[in-house]
Amino acid sequence: MYKLSGTVELRGKVAYAAQTPWLLSATLKENILFGAEYDKELYESVIEACALVDDLAMLKDGDETQVGEKGITLSGGQKARISLARTVYARADVYLLDDPLSSVDAHVARHLFDNVIGPTGLLRSKARILCTNAIPFCQRADELIMVRDGKIAERGTFEAVLANKGDLKQLIDDFGKKSSQDDIFEIRSIGHIYCGFGQQRRMLLQQATSRVCFVNEATNAHPVQEQQQANPEDAQAPWESH
């Protein structure tokens, strides 16, 4: 994103979780700490919140296991959760989260939202901007912003969006009509909709003044079951040693 005019003002420390996670050629623990001082209580809370306890228990060396070029092979979901853990451990004031739920299935995504991102998560007292295509989680955000062609097309609270009956409301309704009994969540008066859709997304990260959830307009939407076929649940993925 390039600033064409005006000013940008940031307050406090900012932490960013990229949509494509990356890891250092180091231990899992070093990837999470990222040079920060080790705080046992915080570290264990982050591991639990990011659904990494079972993964670490499968490893002989636990969080001292080497990852990277000379280490073990991780699934996309495992990388995403480690990257998210590093971001959370940074103890920042503002968190920019670029679709961290896209590489995990509905159940793991629900765990991450409830324990990390949402109003009951570790970051509940922080300002966070979540870029996502998972509409069901957006009902718990303070504000929704729909981005189209790099510009804000619609914004407001979840209730305001429903009352406005604009494109975002139509998008929600469209997915409500495609609901099934698998991997679905209830959204107030809308009924049931899929918790994820599509692979196309363009997200805008703006200055954080409150907890915000971004929703991107999808042109080629697919239900969760199709996504899981392309990106199987990583919680069951084995850790392969090299």
Question: Would you state the pLDDT for residue 174?
Answer: 72
Question: Would you state the pLDDT for residue 189?
Answer: 27
Question: Would you state the pLDDT for residue 88?
Answer: 98
Residues 112 and 207 placed together within one structural domain of the fold: yes
**What range defines the domain where residue 126 resides?**
93-233
Residues 200 and 214 placed together within one structural domain of the fold: yes
Question: Would you state the pLDDT for residue 128?
Answer: 93
* Residue 2 located in a structural domain: no
* Residue 240 located in a structural domain: no
Question: Would you state the pLDDT for residue 175?
Answer: 65
Segments of the chain with pLDDT less than 70: 1, 175-242
Residues 118 and 85 placed together within one structural domain of the fold: no
Residues 63 and 107 placed together within one structural domain of the fold: no
Question: Would you state the pLDDT for residue 233?
Answer: 42
Question: Would you state the pLDDT for residue 73?
Answer: 82
Question: Would you state the pLDDT for residue 176?
Answer: 63
Count of the separate structural domains present in the chain:
2
How far apart are the C-alpha atoms of 208 and 84, rounded to whole Å? 18
Question: Would you state the pLDDT for residue 126?
Answer: 94
Question: Would you state the pLDDT for residue 103?
Answer: 87
Give the bridge partners for 36, in sequence order. none
Question: Would you state the pLDDT for residue 110?
Answer: 93
How far apart are the C-alpha atoms of 176 and 125, rounded to whole Å? 31
Residues 74 and 174 placed together within one structural domain of the fold: no
How many CB atoms lie under 10 A from the CB of residue 69? 8
